A and B are shown apart, each in its own frame.
Chain A
Amino acid sequence: MNTLTTIHWQLACRVDDVPQDGGACVLLGGEQIAIYRFTRRDQWFATQNLCPHKQQMALSRGMIGSHGEACEPKVACPFHKKTFSLLTGECLSGEDYQLQTYPVKIKGDRVYIGISA
């Protein structure tokens, strides 16, 4: 077992609170976290909601999609359309920004976010 960090799974919202192939924002312990739901491939991702470009709480309102042959999941900020990988949090528009990403777990109709302590 991994003993260096433990992950606390926190209840974030219900599955239906997040629109199909879209995103929504939750407030967890004072943090704004964006959750993304890829209905087509049945996958979930989560990142910080803050866009590092101009410090806007906006990523949950961005369009999601995929990048490249490997279909890397991504989100585009609604403000200036900078895009970020949802796997690594890396900025795909060639800038040095980095997003915090979080693991997501679905149990029944509930969405849990993993916060490492």
Chain B
Amino acid sequence: MKYTAKPVVVVVGNGMVGHRFCTRLKAAGGFRIILFGEEPRPAYDRVHLSEYFNGKSAADLSLPMTGWFEDEEIALHLGDPIREIDRERQLVHSSKGLSIRYDYLILATGSSAFVPDLPGVEKEGVFVYRTIEDLEKIKAYAPRAMSGAVMGGGLLGLEAAKALLDLGIPQTHVIEFASRLMPRQIDSAGSHTLESSLKQLGLQLHLNKSTLAIEGRDRIESLQFADDSRLAVDMLVISAGIRPRDELARLAGLTVGTRGGILVNERLQTSDRHIYAIGECALVHGNIYGLVAPGYEMADVVVNNLTGGNKTFPGFDMSTKLKLIGQDVASFGEPFAAEPDCRTIVFEDRHKGVYKRINISPDGKYLLGGVLVGDASAYNILLQTVNNRLVLPPNPEDLILGSRGGAVEGAGVMSLPDEALICSCESVTKAAICSAVMEKEATTIDAMKKCTRAGTGCGGCIPLVKDLISSTLSANGQYVRNVVCEHFNHSRQELFDLVKLHNVRTYDEALTQWGKGDGCEVCKPVLASILASCWNETIVRQATIQDSNDRYLANIQKGGSYSVVPRIPGGEITPEKLIVLGKVAKKYNLYTKITGGQRIDLFGAHVGDLPAIWEELIEAGFESGHAYGKALRTVKSCVGSTWCRFGLHDSVSFAIGIEERYRGIRAPHKLKGGVSGCIRECAEAQSKDFGIIATEKGWNLYVCGNGGSKPQHAQLLAVDIDKETCIKYLDRFLMFYIRTADPLSRTATWLNKMDGGMSYLKNVVINDSLGMAAQWEQEMQALVDSYTCEWKEVVNNPELRKRFVHFVNAPRKKDPGLEFAELRGQVKAQEW
């Protein structure tokens, strides 16, 4: 305080931690801040750097808002690294020649990628992965590379490998010196699981490989290893660890660690008490912390000390969770603790690529740490269990297996103590989040970010924050709303009830009454589906609010051609009809394939040919298969008692009956069914939205199964019922789903979100606990009775037929850009 009223704080390094420090010190007030950065741009989110390859721009990643520095009166010097510190006179000298006097100097110089001293590292095509500039160079070089390698199989190396895959490099290799991947985070069994998943995704892994040289003329051509083997590659990204940037400190005579890093005490002071070091350049308690959360904590400690506080840096939990190439990987607490210091429980499913390990205190009371690979959904709650020393339930294996029967006592988010740290980047506790929900109405993630800053750092806590928001709301009896989009401030279920109550028949009316703007590609199909479910008027009447597939009553395929899928109920078809399909396909040059749902798809139709094709199919007795709609697809059946020696009842006839009953009905998502003639389950009915299996005494009804990307078995709803009861239950079940599910959620997801789950659903469907059964059955019958084939309507109506053209001013002309290739004697779509 010799020269100015306010003490001067000079910050060296405008990275994530330097930036955090400035925002916090500015908020505290009372200092003049002068910031020097070496990089040409203001601080950006290095943690999400790879998203630069997935379409985020440098501006998207930027941490300060534009104009922030002017507003905040921080003097910012970008592209001007500090080259020397004069400790005696308390001056810093910048590369561009500025000399500034400081009262306090903060070194937040971060780290750089460690590049081993190998012959050939200077060659063209060798990169590191640290800054936006590094990524720009990689992106520019990648198009000419057919193969690439990443040196280092740690966290950053695998992320870089993913980037190479995303850049479309056909052959991507990872070279690791150790015998396993991510040696600092996971154990070898976890690494094995991760290895097989990564191999399936096309990564080639080379463990136990030490690289001796990078070979090639001017640019890299191959790598040479200590075991005398070679690997030809066109580019290399080195990710062999980080080096703290301590060169400035070293030059100024500050104490540095033998293996690098600026030595600081627990107040983050260097050997000069006017100089602090924070972030990845600091050596605290013998550790370099290569994560952002501990860096933020260090920044907060220094701000506290400069403003008269007395806080110390306690060391930091290195738990991490990340998504690597689509694979969850997490480690928390003490991942490597081993017997006899603890009891270890391991769960492994090689087939699904899941490995989970938890370490429990010898008395079985507390969780010490663990490793999760392939499925880290339990990470947040496990980490909270460790950090808050929550007492474990009697069967701790439920923590990783999911409970089998009955809810796990005390595993929900609401059982966490108030002081539980939910967002460690921003130090936000459970109590702070809950009170923001209740007192400041922060009920969305965005509002919560504004209000508490929770989730603005690494983002790893967002699922937990979401859970807390909705649990807090429902604990207080508030209804959690899921609005459709910016144009309607209502959930799908609310819109459904409004449409029904006010007898609204068109999208336009709905938009005028309850919406704003012109609608969009989200709310239009949602209302289209609701209107169809309520009134069952054919969707051709309001074509432009339908998803493109529903608008053209066919599925759009690569290149812009369409597929034609006639209904073949239960998969039963006569030879005559088979011949017609063949003839039509030949005439219009269509590709034919048998689908998983036991019918025949015809691909490659020009939009202008669709009405003529359907005219011929309808003539032969076919009707629309609704493959384009969020509607019933197929009811798959096994051959059943008519032919099969094990068959108990006639599964084919039942399947046909059901398929014909529910055909054409619109739902929040597609629906699939199956009927098997005995417990051998040849129709795979338990993987369908509803599945029926013959028993000695009748039929068993299963619901809410799913194939697709997240397979889930259907659950038993009713046992040994007759056909009539089965259809009654199905009517109720389907109407309940159609009314209440969120847009685009399959029955399985709908059930998973339902409070009370299967027992609640049983109560509603079988015991009529909502008193809606009679109404639903009646509504369903009305839908069944008003069914008409949409294609028939189009074929017979010249006005509607006119819509099926590519050029409205040249109706006979086909899209000249639509071309096909040949494969095994049929057409196929051109690659895009």
Interface of A toward B, CB cutoff 8 Å = 12-13, 17-28, 32, 38, 40-41, 54-58, 61-68, 71, 73-74, 76, 78-79, 81, 83, 94-95
Contacts and interface: CB of A to CB of B under 8 A. Distances in A.
Interface centre among B487, B519, B544, B559 (most CB of A within 10 A): B544
A18 to B, nearest CB: 7
B807 A78 contact: no
Contacts of B543: 19, 22
Contacts of B832: 54-56
Contacts, number: 102
Contact of A65 (B55, B521, B803, B817): B521
Nearest to A20: B544
Interface stretch (B493-501, B547-555, B679-687): B547-555
15 contacts: A26-B808, A27-B813, A40-B511, A40-B518, A62-B548, A63-B544, A63-B548, A64-B544, A65-B521, A65-B523, A66-B520, A76-B520, A94-B55, A94-B56, A95-B55
B524 interface: yes
B532 to A, nearest CB: 16
Contacts of B559: 56
A18 B518 contact: no
Given A40-B518, A79-B556, A18 B808 contact: yes
B594 interface: no
Contact of A17 (B518, B521, B809): B809
B809 A65 contact: no
Given A32-B817, A94-B60, 6 more contacts: A17-B809, A63-B544, A64-B518, A64-B544, A65-B519, A83-B521
B520 A65 contact: yes
A78 B556 contact: yes
Contacts of A62: 521, 548
B556 A61 contact: yes
A81 B521 contact: yes
A2 to B, nearest CB: 28
B406 interface: no
A18 B518 CA distance: 17
Q: Is the interface of B mostly helix, strand, loop or mixed?
A: loop
A58 B560 contact: yes
A12 B809 contact: yes
A57 B815 contact: yes
Given A13-B809, A63-B520, A19 B548 contact: no
Interface in B551-567: 551-552, 556, 559-560
Contacts of B544: 19-23, 63-64
A74 B809 contact: no
Given A56-B560, A62-B548, A74 B808 contact: no
Contacts of A79: 556
A28 B813 CA distance: 13
Nearest to B556: A78
Nearest to A37: B544
Q: Which 7 pairs between the two chains have the least Cβ-Cβ distance?
A: A78-B548, A22-B544, A65-B520, A76-B521, A66-B518, A17-B808, A66-B517
Interface of B: 55-56, 60, 486-487, 508, 511, 517-521, 523-525, 543-545, 547-549, 551-552, 556, 559-560, 803, 806-810, 813, 815, 817-818, 832
B817 A57 contact: yes
A101 B98 CA distance: 50
Nearest to A38: B518
A19 B805 CA distance: 12
A27 B559 CA distance: 18
A25 B808 contact: yes
A65 B552 contact: no
Contacts of A68: 486
Contacts of A71: 517-518
B807 A26 contact: yes
Contacts of A13: 808-809
A112 to B, nearest CB: 12
A67 B523 CA distance: 12
Interface centre among B60, B524, B556, B808 (most CB of A within 10 A): B808
Contacts of A58: 548, 556, 560
A62 B545 CA distance: 10
A57 B560 contact: yes
B521 to A, nearest CB: 4
Contacts of A73: 518
B524 to A, nearest CB: 5
Given A57-B560, A63-B524, A65-B521, A78 B547 contact: yes
Contacts of A20: 544
Nearest to B544: A22
A56 B815 CA distance: 11
A28 B810 CA distance: 10
Nearest to B818: A57
A53 to B, nearest CB: 9
B540 to A, nearest CB: 11
A55 B560 CA distance: 10
Interface centre among B56, B549, B817 (most CB of A within 10 A): B817
A76 to B, nearest CB: 4
Contacts of A83: 520-521
